[in-house]
């Protein structure tokens, strides 16, 4: 039982210094800025979102143009 308590305490302590698994920066000297939060990556993600929106709109327009209207 004492060994299980020690393991649990070690895991809890480890979780306090390892929040980057959820995309957050670790506090103090332990972490670094996650790649997804850098300005370059944010700009790239936004460009990809914009491109996906344009492709979606073009696909919808193509489907609407190819579908005959019911009479």
18: how many CB neighbours lie within 10 A of its CB? 13
* Span 11-60, pLDDT tens digits: 988 877 665 555 666 666 666 667 777 889 889 999 999 999 999 999 99
| Model confidence at 61: pLDDT above 90 | yes
Q: What is the CA radius of gyration of the chain?
A: 24
pTM of the complete model beyond 0.85 = no
What's residue 9's pLDDT?
95
Find where tokens 């990809």 sit.
Answer: 48
Q: How confident is the model at residue 68 (pLDDT cuts 50, 70, 90)?
A: confident
Find where tokens 């019911």 sit.
Answer: 70
Q: Which residue has the higher pLDDT, 30 or 61?
A: 61
């Amino acid at each position: 039982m004492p060994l299980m308590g020690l393991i649990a305490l070690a895991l809890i302590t480890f979780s306090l210094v390892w929040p980057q698994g959820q995309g957050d920066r670790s506090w103090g000297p332990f972490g670094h800025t996650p790649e997804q939060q850098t300005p370059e990556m944010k700009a790239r993600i936004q460009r990809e979102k914009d491109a996906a929106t344009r492709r979606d709109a073009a696909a919808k327009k193509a489907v609407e143009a190819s579908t005959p209207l019911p009479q």
